[in-house]
Structure 1
Amino acid sequence: MDSPHVAFRLERGVTGFRDRRDPPVPRTDPKACRAAWYAASRAARGRVEDFAEREYPQNFHSATISNRDGPHIALFHAHYPLIAFVGDRQYWYTDEFQAPPAWAPALSDFGFAVLGATQLLSPLAESDASALSAAEWRQIKHWRPATLGAALFNSWD
């Protein structure tokens, strides 16, 4: 029996934006991201090529592991423990998300949720965005991300 479709819930602050009266946006510790990435490299039987902490206005860190299957690039969300895989390094992402490699579940052992391409490429309108703040809605109306992934992993300023 198929399970019913459950909408992805966008938590307050997931876009990286807030009004100055809103509570601070949570942070994902880059050290925790790095530790998970090095553990994943062992599971992948590969080596860490790099880990780049976010640069404003990006709301994600990026990292690469290379193994016999080639390079694997991940985006670590800077505010929530979410990870997406992409084919190339870019300044921002809209529809470039890929399926996670077979070894990606090793990242879950560190408390990260590895998001699949189907989920990231789903229309933002199908997500539960009820927890987002007014400041986040203003950004969404301005930038008009079509997909969940484009809203989660952004470089809006």
Structure 2
Amino acid sequence: MKADSPQVAFRLERGSTGFRHSRDSPLPETDPRACRTVWYAAARAACGQVGTFAEQQYPQNFHSATINDRDGVHVALFHAQYPLIAFVDDLRYWYADGFQDPPAWAASLNDCGFTVLSASLLMAPLAEADTAALSTAEWSQIKHWKPQTLGATLFNSWD
């Protein structure tokens, strides 16, 4: 089933928040070069141009990018640990809302091994997600920052 299927709870994998305890094994990483490569391919599919691509800067756990096409500017967040992509309304330091449905051309990103997440999934309450794989360190951060949505948990700037 698709990641945003209403019949299946979205699973947050260990490290989805970008946090781990120093004793834990390192988190996986989404190679920013791979993100940039698929973003340029998406720009071609959109008949647009890449505006920006900014690699993750601490404390953000995402890379950000824009594409300019005939419909305007599209802003995407690439998760730094997993190949997940969210579309948002504008570039910001952190996100609790502002998640948008992807444009039609974003399907090309799925074909490249990334999962493009819908606005409804990202705005869903965190309580509806499968959080069994999250670590104690991640739960500590969640209790501190109190994100209300799946999107705010996945794409954050917690320090």
User: Taking structure 1 as the reference length, what is the TM-score of the superposition?
Assistant: 0.97
SS at match of 2:68: strand
For structure 2, the residue ranges without an aligned partner over 5 or more in a row are none
Q: In the aligned structure 1, how far is the partner of 2:7 from the partner of 2:157? A: 29
Q: In the aligned structure 1, how far is the partner of 2:27 from the partner of 2:18? A: 7
Residue in structure 2 matching 1:148, options 144, 150, 156: 150
The one-letter code sitting in structure 1 at the alignment partner of 2:147 is: P
Q: In the aligned structure 1, how far is the partner of 2:6 from the partner of 2:112? A: 28
Residue 108 in structure 1 maps to residue 110 in structure 2: yes
**How big is each residue's C-alpha offset from its partner over 1:77-96, in whole Å with a ceiling of 9 and x where there is no partner?**
00000000001100000111
Q: In the aligned structure 1, how far is the partner of 2:147 from the partner of 2:6? A: 25
Aligned to 2:91: 89
Q: In the aligned structure 2, how far is the partner of 1:23 from the partner of 1:131? A: 14
Two-structure CA RMSD over aligned residues (Å): 0.9
- Map 1:61-100 → 2, pairs under 5 A: 61-100=63-102
Deviation of residue 4 (structure 1)? 6.1
**How big is each residue's C-alpha offset from its partner over 1:76-123, in whole Å with a ceiling of 9 and x where there is no partner?**
000000000001100000111000001001001211000000000000
SS at match of 2:104: coil
SS at match of 1:95: coil
For structure 1, the residue ranges without an aligned partner over 5 or more in a row are none
Kindly tell me the number of residue pairs found equivalent between the two proteins.
155
Identity in percent: 70
Show structure 1 runs of 4+ deviating over 6 A.
none
Q: In the aligned structure 2, how far is the partner of 1:117 from the partner of 1:67? A: 20
User: Taking structure 2 as the reference length, what is the TM-score of the superposition?
Assistant: 0.96
Deviation of residue 42 (structure 1)? 0.5
Residue 127 in structure 1 maps to residue 117 in structure 2: no
The one-letter code sitting in structure 1 at the alignment partner of 2:13 is: E
Deviation of residue 68 (structure 1)? 0.3
